[in-house]
Amino acid sequence: MPTYDYQCKTCETVFSISGPYSTLIGCKPHCPCCRSTGNSIKKLIRNINVIYGTKGFYNTDNKKEEKNGN
């Protein structure tokens, strides 16, 4: 389940909300510390780690063998 990180501009608290995106549409997050809402809450953009565990992702995994024309 995805996790969305937010930061309160009023008290600098960083908090997370997890759940499917469809349930968070129209949701107004509020700070759990000072209860601020609206423009006081900033959504944080974070890097995600992606791990590919299958073959075929890299160029060298499924490279066809070249045939010599000799």
Cα separation, 22 vs 2, in Å, equals: 11
| This prediction's pTM | 0.61
Residues 6 or more apart from 11 whose CB is under 8 A from it? 31, 33, 34, 36
pLDDT of res. 65 = 60
Q: How confident is the model at residue 4 (pLDDT cuts 50, 70, 90)?
A: confident
Cα separation, 44 vs 10, in Å, equals: 15
**54-63 tens-digit pLDDT:** 665 566 655 5
**19-51 tens-digit pLDDT:** 887 877 888 889 999 999 889 999 999 777 777
